Amino acid sequence: MEKAAPKMAAEKAVQEEFDAKLPEELKGPTTEHFMVFVVDIEHINGASQYFNANFFVRLRWNDTRLAKPRVAIRQIPMNEVWHPSVLLANQQGVAFRSLPEVMQVHPDGMVVYLQRYTGRLSQPLLLGEFPRDTHNFTIQFVATGH
């Protein structure tokens, strides 16, 4: 029993270090690939300056610490692996997430996060020439903590 406590403390320290550090931190920044696929823009409100959007976000990066060449693609809860802290900057209220908060980890260490968002986003809208106007809608993300 006396040997178990130091072992557990050492394992916890290793896990905390693993969680806190970027993959390949000593080699430079982690390259992340970011994709947004917009399914629908709906309910545009010029007076309140918002629109509702339905969209998917996919993040992908490599973390060789998670590589297990002889293992199939694994699903790991988001809170158990390092991941970029990305926030939806122009959300107004709550943006609902439809998919589980898990990471797909490939045998080579490639990590993929996929999430579907539905919610209200704020943006300056000038709708004076409606219905003959055109607009670019902005879905704005920020990375925090790095």
Tokens of 54: 């339905």
The per-residue pLDDT of the chain, averaged, comes to 85
Q: Which residues contact 78 (CB under 8 A, 6 or more apart)?
A: 101, 102, 103, 113
Domain residue ranges of the chain, discontinuous segments joined by + = 4-144
Residues 41-82 pLDDT 10s: 988 888 889 999 999 999 999 998 899 999 999 999 999 988
Please answer whether residues 146 and 23 qualify as being in contact, where contact means their C-beta atoms are separated by less than 8 angstroms. Answer: no
59 and 44 Cβ atoms separated by less than 8 Å:
no
State in words which class domain 4-144 has. Answer: mainly beta
Show the DSSP H helices in the chain as ranges.
4-20
pTM, 2 dp: 0.76
